[in-house]
A and B are shown apart, each in its own frame.
Chain A
Amino acid sequence: MKRATAGLYQSVLTAALLLTISLPRPALNAPLGEQETARLVADAPGADEYPDAGALILYQEKNVSVAEDNTQVLEEQLLVKILKDRGRRFGDQKRMFDARTDSVEVLRARTWLPGGQTVPVEAKAINVITPPELTGAAIYADIKQKVISFGSIAPGVVIELVTRTISRPDTSAPLNLYPYWDVEVFRSDEPILEKIYDLEIPADFPEPRLFTGGGLEIAPDSADQESERPKAKHYRWEVRDEPMIHRIPYMPGTLAFAPFLLYSNVDSWEKLGSWLGAQFYPKAQPDAAIRAKVAELTAGSKTPADTVREIYLFVTTQVRNISLQLGLAGYAPTEAAKVFQNMYGHELDKAALLSAMLTAAGFENYPALSRADQVDLLEPSIPSAAQFSRVSIYVPGLFTDSTFANPLYPQTERHGLWLMPIAQYNRYAYYSRGQGARALVILPCGGTLCRIQEFPPEKSLSYSNASLELDAEGNLTGQFKTVTDGLFDAQARLALKDLTPRELEQFFRQATNSVGEGAEMQSDSLSDLRDLTAPASAGLSFSAPEVGVVQGEMMIVRLPQAPFEFAGLPYFPELKEREFDFVADGPFVLASEISLGLPEGWTVAYSPEDLSRSSQFGRWNIDCSISGGRLNFSRRLMLTSRQVKTYDYPDFKKFCESFTLPRYSLLLLEKKAAPGK
């Protein structure tokens, strides 16, 4: 009997232990216990096990709980071991919050030394500042940053931080909806040994929409588990041993490859659109002053396209931009009348003004939220404003906007317009990021997802034409003329639009110098970059000494490219191989033509051969001919891909390399033998 009892007792104990292990950890009413933390710290691996890492995220737990009154509480515990000097950046932890509605409390902050002693963070080392990037936007939002600065930071120590952020609900509560949502990524620039995200909501709240990607899975049965908080249900996600991200150029956003979580309590895009619209539309109404301005701006308009354009250009170029991340100050813009009075605004504000002005002019228009990635990363099953970072105004219908037509590649089909109110450096109605992606168009009846127009490669054009003369000493004279559109046009405006005449002169003189040291500029030209309806173009004429290098009886000439940086190849795939897809702005067309007068007394020993290549990524061709003492050389590259998968990357690299080989821009001349010799 006793043995049976003992065995039973053991079984019960074992079962209890197993049950304890399998039960989810309760919500973070208290941080990890002292012993558990000390154990984690003592057992933490080091630089030997993670030679690449600057620090190790030993443990990170985020517990989000939504209360009955819609207050949200985020409790976070973080343990990071510093491995190298560059990991010391973890010694200054920052927590952003909106001082109007949030509070951040530091529950525990200390440094664990290698011997096990702890050094608490002193009160004076906890400061509240305005984030530097938001100084200019202080009129909008009381966004603050609590900075916790840890002492005794050195390789081998562990920082421990426990914070609680309380966010009060928005009392205006449009449509009586209190949305909650989040995007959480489970991978970072340093290895993560353990990361937990726990969401707790009242039991009588509807199920939120959940989505995980990148291999992240919800912990089994977590929705059914009881928490310490009565009448609540919670959900839990966990990762272990997540490797660090090794950053490489032209990477996609982290949602494209890392484990991530998206959730929202909004159950449809329609409803989200209604919620956003209930905040936007009342503020986007024209008043008498706005109507008067619209009338003034459009007095000379001959077509509807003209009217839309004039209004858009006014808002984009005359109303000063204030930089503020979408959502940081909520989703209700300032009244359009006020934005007009202020003559400044952030993106959402300017969208409200643009909408009000278009409405005053009688145009149907809708705000639209989108992402600013190069490829579409929107998750359509999770209606959440947190997925978006950009606002535009969509004007549906029937535009054949001839001013947007490229003179070389006219676009004539009718289309709607996606107008970005802060795109002061873009050609009218052009945008680079977000092409082809889904946007949430906010109709008065609710929201709907639509695809943003994609532009063909010809819409991003860099075309350069050069007429040059080379003399027997290698001196080069001539002129370059460059016309740009789309992507290249935006680069040109960004570089030059705000310069004064003398600053522009400096630019052109430096550009001339890039043809060859000692080059002198004779004249320059630049289109009116404030006119966003015409493509940006620039030109210069010059004389440059010894561009052709005479070496005895030979002359080496590198056929020059257009001397404007904004007109050149925007990127090049330099890495041998990649862990992540190659993602860049595009597609585009890069073209150049050179007519070069050759010096008398010299023959061509070598010039580039005619060549062309076609691939799934685009095509390029090089043509070179000599006649009448002139070399005629043209190069054209069309890249049609914005994203190249890792398995296609080697072919993509070969394709790009082959276009840029030095032999395709080399001219070798040889002195003709003197008669009789």
Chain B
Amino acid sequence: MNTLKRLNRLLTAVLFFQLALIIPAPAGQAGRETLDRLAAAGGLDKYPDANALVVEDRREVTFQADGTFLDRRYELVKVLTETGKNSYGEAGFDYSRQYDAVRIEFARVIKPDGSAVEVPAEMIKDVTHPALAQMNIYDANVRIQMVTFQNLEVGDAIEYAVVDSCFLAPCEGEYDIIDLFQGSDPLLHKRLEINGPDSKPLHHLVKDGKVDFSTAKKNGRTSYVWETHDVPRIVAEPSMPSYLSFAPRLLASTWDSWNQMSKWWYDMTLQYRNQNDSLKAAVAGVTKGMTTDEEKIKAVYHFVAQKIRYMGLGTGKKAGFEPKPATETLSTRYGVCRDVAILMCSMLDDLGIKCYPVLTRATQLVDTEIPTIGFNHAIVALPDGKGGYRYSDPTVENFPELLFTGEGDASMLVCTPDGETIQTSAHSPAGDNMGTISATSRIDESGRLVSEATINTRGIYDVAFRSFVKRYPPQELNNIWQQVVTGVHPGARLLGFSTSDPEDLYTPFGLRFSYEVEDYAIQAGKYLLIKSPISTNSFELILQSFLSAAGLPERQYPLDLGVTLGSSQQENLVLPAGYKVKSLPETVDLESGGLSYKMEYGASTPTESKRGLDVRYEKKFLIDSKELDTQSYLELKKILRSSSRSGRGEIILQKDE
């Protein structure tokens, strides 16, 4: 142990020495080497699309067998524009008091003439991390050191070195890292060195890019070095995936397998799957009268999802990883995802129903090649009797089914006593995320429209509308829906609005509304023009919202919708008597890969008994993939073009002489 401590001290000294090599000249003046680097970096002439240049990014990590580490980072950034100045005017370095400490070794602004303006101590503030409070998590231990750079102007550079010392590894005995080798600014040089004991070999892989790699062994330790030069910036596109899913990145970990990680978290959480009389009483209460396991699972899931509010306090020895005891989550009626997952497990334990906690990542797949703790969410798995699992997410408050349909095709690490490997949840087809809008509308001789419509929901539509209705008082809901109907016509007036009970998760959620528009039909010379109100897409709030990100003619990155989507619209229009159809919008029927779009108008022939025309409008649009690659995106654009064209069409009527 003494030897180890001495070795640590020696290594620390070596690293300090190395760091000293890149620490420039004394305060007041930047070093020659730094200035040369900045001059050679160029500016807007070479990088016309950049706000700043990351001239140098060096990181040296030394980890120990127990998982603790020292992480030194040095960065030199040249500011090119006002936007860059605003972005780099402050730098934040986050940490958790329970696990690590951050020390700013130095921070300064380097002016073009080489003078350096040190950041005074009073401009370095240690505050609670803003991101947590925004998620309703109040943990005063999770913090950020904010450095405010003084006298920063366009053309200047910022330079800093930060040391993060981890004294308690969240996962004792293991170390892992995911590091990006591309970002939103051009990266001129990045070097990452990780030094670890030979007893804890690092499994590593660089994905989606090429990075120079070398390794060296010395004194029972191994150094791994990754280095890259001249990496262009990522120009963001609307609804693009996380950088972690496509940018060049290093995955490195001492974990030997996903099974090991699975077992680790199972062991950590097991002690918190406790029960007491209150918990047992709650279980008995919610499952009263139920005879099948399926009924009981759903009842427990609904109880946990609806009765435990999302709020976290960051308590426990391993904050961020350990859940609260299930009995505590139940009694306080609040918790974060891991808390409610463990509570649900405990309640199912009481019923004798097998289940396991699951680590997952919301919004993107986990890289499976190297096991890393890249998870940000916890849910529950239940054996499906066929060797696999089905899942349940009790964090999602307003969803009728066990697993929110947006969590299909997601990475799942089921945590069991023997460990499991990482899996992917089943695909949720577009039909499971469906909004069905139906309307019966009538236009009279004066051109007045009256319409009665319903929206029936499944999946993402259900949870979105249900949550929306629960969020606002009834009077405000009416006002909001009045605003929605004006999308059909500026003079539209809502006549009625009602919904099914948003609390009843056993019944699919639906809305019903009616509205009128005076003078809706347009008398255009000898023709009468009528638009199917539904075809304006004014009620198609979910799909339109997702597709608003599809404005570019082509993309460099996939379009990340996050969920499969389906929309069905039907309208029966009863038109005034005395007219015949001059023309209708053309039928469209397109299908490509996981995309399909059908739109059709049909008109009935007037009869003696029914003299007015009936026109029927139908449309169905399915997107059966959560993410569209760049080629599929072009197919989507073809569909959107047809959809847009047909949406601009009108029913043209002519007087029937």
Contact = CB atoms under 8 A, between A and B. Distances in A.
A151 B331 contact: yes
A92 B332 CA distance: 13
Interface string B76-88: 0000011101100
Contacts of B332: 125, 151-152
Contacts of B333: 151-154
Q: What is the interface of chain A mostly: helix, strand, loop, or mixed? A: mixed
Interface in B302-328: 306-307, 309, 311, 313, 315
A455 B583 CA distance: 50
B133 interface: yes
A86 to B, nearest CB: 6
A574 B524 contact: no
Contacts of B150: 341-344
A463 to B, nearest CB: 22
B620 interface: no
Interface stretch (B168-176, B214-222, B223-231, B473-481): B473-481
B641 A517 contact: yes
Contacts of A558: 648
A239 interface: no
B294 to A, nearest CB: 26
B623 to A, nearest CB: 16
A660 B490 CA distance: 7
Contacts of B490: 572, 656-657, 660-661
B657 to A, nearest CB: 17
Contacts of A215: none
Contacts of B313: 124-125, 127, 149
A640 to B, nearest CB: 20
Contacts of A246: 473, 475-476, 479
Interface residues of B, number: 90
B151 A530 contact: no
Contact of B311 (A92, A498, A657): A92
Interface stretch (B123-131, B281-289, B406-414, B563-571): B123-131
B491 interface: yes
A52 B475 contact: yes
B482 interface: yes
Contacts of B644: 516-518
Interface in A489-507: 498, 500-503, 506
Contacts of A138: 125, 127, 146
B474 A320 contact: no
B108 to A, nearest CB: 14
Contacts of A332: none
A147 interface: yes
B138 A320 contact: no
B198 interface: no
Given A91-B309, A498-B83, A657-B490, A52 B551 contact: no
Interface string A570-596: 001011100000000000000000000
A353 to B, nearest CB: 13
Contact of A657 (B139, B237, B471, B491): B491
A546 B133 contact: no
Interface residues of A, number: 82
A372 to B, nearest CB: 22
A84 to B, nearest CB: 7
Contacts of B474: 51-52
A343 B641 contact: no
Nearest to B153: A343
Interface in B112-166: 122-123, 125, 127-128, 130-131, 133-134, 136, 138-140, 144, 146, 148, 150-153
Contacts of B519: 661
Given A506-B237, A656-B490, A666-B522, A574 B645 contact: no
A663 B522 contact: yes
A133 B134 CA distance: 10
A127 B139 contact: yes
Given A139-B123, A246-B476, A343 B151 contact: yes
A16 interface: no
Interface stretch (B256-264, B525-533, B611-619): B525-533
A248 B473 CA distance: 12
A501 B472 CA distance: 41
Interface stretch (A23-31, A301-309, A464-472, A547-555): A547-555
Contacts of A514: 551
B482 A554 contact: no
Nearest to B125: A138
A154 B307 contact: yes
B227 to A, nearest CB: 27
Nearest to A513: B551
Given A129-B128, A518-B637, A574-B483, A552 B140 contact: no
B53 interface: no
A530 B475 CA distance: 44
Contacts of A52: 473-475
A355 B583 CA distance: 68
A131 interface: yes
B476 A139 contact: no
Contacts of B640: 517
B30 interface: no
B311 A605 contact: no
A551 B525 CA distance: 17
Nearest to A552: B583
A91 B334 contact: yes
A616 interface: no
Contacts of A572: 486, 490
Contact of A130 (B51, B127, B479, B482): B127
A135 interface: yes
Contacts of A119: 331
B479 A662 contact: no
B585 interface: yes
A255 to B, nearest CB: 21
A662 B332 CA distance: 55
Given A130-B128, A551-B583, A666-B522, A517 B637 contact: yes
A556 interface: yes
Nearest to A520: B553
Contacts of B525: 605-606, 668
B584 interface: yes
A552 B584 CA distance: 8
A139 B148 contact: yes
B90 interface: yes
B311 A149 contact: yes
Contacts of A248: 476, 479
Nearest to A88: B309
Interface string A507-523: 00110011011101000
A129 B483 contact: no
A509 B554 CA distance: 10
B533 to A, nearest CB: 12
Interface of B: 48-51, 81-83, 85-86, 89-90, 92, 122-123, 125, 127-128, 130-131, 133-134, 136, 138-140, 144, 146, 148, 150-153, 235-238, 306-307, 309, 311, 313, 315, 331-334, 397, 470-476, 479, 482-483, 486, 489-491, 493-494, 519, 522, 524-527, 529, 531, 551-553, 582-586, 637, 640-641, 643-646, 648-650, 652
Given A246-B476, A517-B640, A606-B527, 12 more contacts: A125-B313, A127-B139, A135-B146, A147-B138, A153-B333, A341-B150, A554-B582, A572-B486, A575-B479, A576-B493, A606-B522, A668-B529
17 contacts: A86-B472, A91-B311, A91-B334, A92-B136, A125-B313, A128-B128, A132-B134, A152-B332, A152-B333, A246-B473, A343-B150, A517-B637, A520-B553, A551-B583, A576-B482, A660-B490, A662-B489
The 10 closest A-B pairs by CB, nearest first: A606-B524, A510-B551, A132-B130, A151-B332, A551-B583, A130-B127, A517-B644, A138-B125, A129-B128, A517-B641
